Amino acid sequence: MDISNKSDGKLKRLHVGEKRTSRIPGFYRLPVEQRLAFLANRYNLSEQQITNLRDGQTLRIDHAVNMVENAVGVLPMPLGLGLNFIVDDVEYLVPMAIEEASIIAAASKAALMIRQGGGFRTEVDEPVMIGQVQVVEIADVHKAEKRIHERKKDIIEQANLASPRMVARGGGVFDIETRIIDEDDLDSPMLIVHLLMNVQEAMGANAINYASEAVGHLIERITGGRVNLRILSNLADKRLAKASFRLPFDAIKTSELSGAEVAQRMIEAYQMAKYDPYRAATHNKGIFNGIGAAALALGQDWRAIEAGGHAYAAKDGKYRSLTKYWIEDEYLFGSIELPMQVGWVGGAVNSHPGIHILHSISGVENARELAGLLATVGLAQNFAACLALSTVGIQKGHMALHARSVALSVGVPASQVEEVAQEMIRRGDVKVSTAEEVYRKMRERPRTKQPADGMPVTVSAPGKVVLFGEHATVYNYPGITAAIDVNLSIKITPDPDGPRFLNPHFKQPFSVPKSDQDLRLFSKAVDLALNIYGMREERVAISIESDLVPGMGLGSSAAFSAALCMGLRKLKNQDTPRSWDGTLLDEVQQLEAIFHGHPSGMDAATVLSEGVLWFRKGPPREILPIRMQHSMAGIVCLVEPGARTIDLVRKVRHSHDLNPKRVGSILDEIGNLTVDAGIALGTGDADEVGRLMFRNHELLARLGVSTAGLDKSIEKLIDYNVLGAKLTGSGGGGAVIALVRQEDQYNLVNELQAEFAMVFPFSLGASV
């Protein structure tokens, strides 16, 4: 099932056997940027949504002030995905927000094992909440109770006046119950009236509270007593969620234990939690590790869920396990049952911007489905914990993640956390004191040279698009390029183990050619730059954060080369003029040559100019700014992975050698229309610029450098009434650009997000 298949704006469910799945092998090994790119591609998330997830900005202070009193900020939590879940033959990814190490990994591992038995099965009650009305000072509590039931219809009608919209949707109060509490330490018996309310898709706390308050005066008149408390109960035992699984013994056997032995150990672990409240408390806490993390990520009142669960665990007067395990016919069975008061509308579900993103990722469609999924997560978490406790022990699998957390807790920098964690694991001693000792010894290592002053240094350079003249520039025809408002940043920080080049972070909405993300090329460029500036011995780390997607013809290597040169110049307190001539351009070109062999200089000049340039490689080389009367608006649409520039240049050269007359005439026309485009840009004739873009794409297609995907994208953009559109860069895939009316740019970017892997705006203006 493709992500583009939608119904009423909602993602279709992920049924077992369909193309999309919650089983994503090696997901934990992917760099964070690749995980985010996976989500962006699968769920059509916008670049802003991905940025908000990455930066922990799904909730900003301007939202928080409307959610809580005395707001002073926002406290982010680590957010991960529980994988591998099959629930009632539907695939789910489970967003989970939690700071405790190993929780998400354990739930995912359990779900993976339980897939072997067909996944989980659930049963979920109707969404019935209980509202309690406390009545005291009653002359005859039994007569009062009888009168309450005689006037049940009146009480229900009065209660439903508080929620007419819910009643209209088929919900509302539908029944009442009564309880008499008559204990020795009470002055007199009290009567508790329960309102039973179907709250539909809501969690229902506000609705049931309104209803409880609405009947207070009526109940006083009926009973002759005084109404005191009117509030919901979080022991929502009319609203139970049940989940279960079965696994063949072969699925749980280990190298040391048979499946039957493991199953028996699981039963013994369960029996301890069933009869020993000291164990049951820890047993159930583990259940809520999973439920609470998923509930928090999906905007639920995890405190209410946990309170109801613990109360339900003691429903027979003794606190017990919420899960059960048993053996039948060489199968291990597991189940869980607990109250689950959740909502798919209202509360944080509506007020928290990040919750909307996570709802889309989860695949859940309604409150009952969510209740079943949360119960499933709790069961998976408990199964994983009991299995580990019964076999290898809880600390073995927990140690690596715990070691990283301990290292962070004593102030170890993120770049050195792994080294400290691995040393603690090697010693088998994961403690704060050990982490402090290991890190202290690391800091005491002799340094041959101190880091340079003035750090950290952060410098950015923009990407670029080719407006006109691709491939023709190779044959000394002119080209027109423009810098775009999408940047790559280089950060240089002190590092006692430097100089080092750290793993770069690029946007990757889909797989890009390995040649465009080859770390050896980046490392080689860094080495050359350090040589150029005489900084081979500097104790620094160089890292990349980029919004540019490599391999798309957007100038990511030129932006990297320019930003690195400017950053090292800044570190040495050298002048760093952004100029398309002089020594800086030559230095950037030396780095660019590592990526592209013999670059024309067009990309480097463009990113340094930050404007619109006329370019001819020469000799003599022509680089001239195109001064525009007013700005023009454009968009970039990423279509598909691109081919290598060098391969497409060779392809055109081969065609030229085979048929010089035909290919030569195409190149001539591209050259002529580029001249016309330069004039139209200078005079501000956007309609003519757009017409020439369409013609330029047609000629590039005739050269054989376009693809079916690029051509289809141009046709799609025509349907959106753009002024002009064409491929940008060498072709063979990659991106298309479009010139659009200024007033249409914002809406087009939003509308086209569902059509392309990424869409972002840019502006063409006068260069200075």
Cβ–Cβ < 8 Å for 93, 362: yes
Neighbouring CB atoms inside 10 A of 537's CB total: 11
CB of 320 closer than 8 Å to CB of 338: no
Q: Whats the size of the chain, residue-wise?
A: 768
Q: Which helix H or strand E contains 345, and what residues bound it?
A: none
Q: What is the DSSP code string of 293-339?
A: HHHHHTT--HHHHHHHHHHHHTTTSS---SEEEEEETTEEEEEEEEE
**Sheet of 190-198: strands edge to edge?**
172-181, 190-198, 128-136, 226-233
* pLDDT tens, position by position, 210-246: 999 999 999 999 999 999 999 999 999 999 999 999 9
Q: Are 460 and 487 in contact (CB under 8 A)?
A: yes
**pLDDT value of residue 309:** 94
Residues with Cβ within 8 Å of residue 413, at least 6 apart in sequence: none
For residues 107 and 460, give the distance between their C-alpha atoms in angstroms, rounded to a whole number. 40
**Are residues 686 and 564 part of one domain?**
yes
Of the ranges 287-291, 429-433, 455-459, 569-573, which is most confident? 287-291
- The Cα–Cα gap between 94 and 112 comes to 13
- 644 within a domain of the structure (yes/no): yes
For residue 137, pLDDT beyond 50: yes
- Three-class secondary structure of residue 431 per DSSP: coil
Burial readout 202-229 (b: 16 or more C-beta within 10 A, e: otherwise): bbbbbbbbbbbbbbbebbeebbebebee
Question: Which residues on neighbouring strands pair with residue 80, listed in sequence order?
Answer: 96
Exposure on the CB side of residue 21, measured as CA atoms within 13 A: 13
Let me know the angle formed at the C-alpha of 52 by 47 and 56, rounded to the nearest 5 degrees. Answer: 155
Angle (CA) 358-362-365 rounded to 5° is 105
Say if residues 156 and 206 touch (Cβ distance below 8 Å).
no
- In this structure, the answer to whether residues 243 and 209 fall within a common structural domain is no
Please report whether residue 143 resides in a domain: yes
Instruction: Give the total number of structural domains in the chain.
Output: 4
pLDDT in tens, 269-321: 999 999 999 999 999 999 999 999 999 989 889 999 999 999 999 999 999 99
Beta-carbon-side half-sphere exposure of residue 279 (alpha carbons within 13 Å): 15
Residue 757 and residue 713 share a domain: yes
SS3 of residue 55 by DSSP:
helix
Q: What does the longest C-alpha to C-alpha distance in the chain come to?
A: 109
Per the residue annotation, which of 283, 398, 491, 570 is the catalytic one? 398
- Find the CATH number of the domain harbouring 119: 3.90.770.10
Q: Where are any strands of DSSP class E within 632-732?
A: 632-640, 724-728
pLDDT at residue 581 is higher than 90: no
Which H or E run includes 501? strand 500-501
The answer to whether position 681 is within a domain reads yes
Other C-beta atoms lying within 10 Å of the C-beta of residue 372: 25
Assess if residue 262 is contained within a domain.
Answer: yes
Residue 406 has pLDDT above 80, yes or no: no
pLDDT above 90 for 8: no
Q: Specify the CATH number for the domain of residue 713.
A: 3.30.230.10
Question: Is 586 a catalytic site residue?
Answer: no
What pLDDT, in 10s, does the model give residues 43-99?
877 777 777 777 776 777 766 676 677 777 777 788 888 999 999 999 999 999 888
536 and 580 housed in the same domain: yes
Together in a domain, 595 and 642: yes
Residues 330 and 381 in one domain: yes
Which residues face 227 on adjacent strands? 135
In a domain, 428, yes or no: yes
3 state SS for 250-303: HHCCCCCCCHHHHHHHHHHHHHHHHHCHHHHHHHHHHHHHHHHHHHHHCCCCHH
Q: Kindly state whether residues 428 and 522 are assigned to the same domain.
A: no
Residue 322 binned pLDDT confidence (cut-offs 50, 70, 90): very high
Percent of the chain with pLDDT over 70: 86
Average pLDDT rounded to a whole number, residues 364-371: 91
Question: What is residue 738's three-state secondary structure?
Answer: strand
Residue 136 has φ and ψ, to the nearest 5°, of: -125, 175
Contact at 8 Å (CB) between 348 and 356?
A: no
Q: Is 711 exposed, middle or buried (0-12, 13-18, 19+ CB in 10 A)?
A: middle
Annotated catalytic, 301? yes
CATH number, domain with residue 224: 3.30.70.420
* Domain interval for residue 416: 401-443
- Name, of 128-132, 508-512, 528-532, the range with top average pLDDT: 128-132
Q: For residue 745, tell me if it sits in a domain.
A: yes
Would you put residue 454 in left (φ > 0), alpha (ψ -120 to 50) or beta? left
Grouping H, G, I as helix, E, B as strand and the rest as coil, residue 147 is helix
Cβ atoms within 10 Å of 460's Cβ, excluding its own: 17
Please tell me the distance from the alpha carbon of residue 261 to that of residue 672, in angstroms, as a whole number: 81
Determine the Cα–Cα distance for residues 715 and 738; give it in Å rounded to an integer.
11
Active site residue 505: no
> Within 10 Å of residue 196's Cβ, how many Cβ atoms?
18
pLDDT tens string 494-517: 887 677 777 666 666 665 444 444
Other beta carbons within 10 Å of 87: 26
**Residue from 89, 100, 126, 685 carrying the catalytic annotation:** 100
Predicted TM-score (pTM) of this structure:
0.55
3-state SS string over 532-548? HCCCCCCCEEEEEEECC
Give the mean model confidence (pLDDT) for residues 159-186. 92
pLDDT in tens, 726-751: 999 888 888 999 999 988 888 898 88
Domain boundary pick from 203, 233, 263: 233
**b/e code 487-519 from CB counts within 10 Å (16+ = b):** bbbbbbbebbebbebbebbbbbbbebeeebbee
Pair (433, 482) in one structural domain? no
Same structural domain, 409 and 350: no
Element (H, E) at 180: strand 172-181
pLDDT at residue 572, rounded to an integer: 84
**Does residue 725 contact residue 739 with C-beta atoms inside 8 Å?**
yes
Q: What Cα–Cα distance (Å) separates residue 219 from each residue in 144, 154, 194, 401, 705?
A: 9, 10, 12, 56, 80
Contacts of 454 (CB under 8 A, 6+ apart): 570, 571, 573
Q: How confident is the model at residue 350 (pLDDT cuts 50, 70, 90)?
A: low
When pLDDT is averaged across residues 520-528 and rounded to a whole number, the result is 81
In a domain, 1, yes or no: no
What's the confidence (pLDDT) of residue 56? 72
| pLDDT for 336 | 97
Picking from 238-252, 272-286, 401-415, 532-546, which range would have the lowest pLDDT averaged per residue?
401-415
Tokens found for residue 217: 């005066």
- Residue 69, SS3 per DSSP: coil
To 10 degrees, what angle do helices 432-443 and 417-427 make? 120
Residue finishing a domain among 233, 260, 282? 233
Q: How far apart are the first and last CA of the chain?
A: 50
* Region of residue 653 (phi > 0: left; psi between -120 and 50: alpha; otherwise: beta): alpha
**Could you tell me if 397 and 366 are in contact, meaning their C-beta atoms sit under 8 angstroms apart?**
no
Regarding whether 453 and 438 lie in a shared domain, the answer is no
User: Cis peptide leading into 78, omega within 30 of 0?
Assistant: no
Last residue of a domain, one of 443, 469, 503: 443
Contact 609, 483 (CB under 8 A): yes
For residue 10, pLDDT beyond 90 = no
Any domain includes 258: yes
Verify whether residue 398 is a known catalytic residue.
yes
Shared domain check, 623 and 534 = yes
Query: Annotated catalytic residue: which of 88, 201, 301, 587?
Result: 301
Same domain, yes or no: 121 and 146? no
Question: Which residue in 146, 285, 315, 712 is the catalytic one?
Answer: 285
CA 414 to chain centre: 21
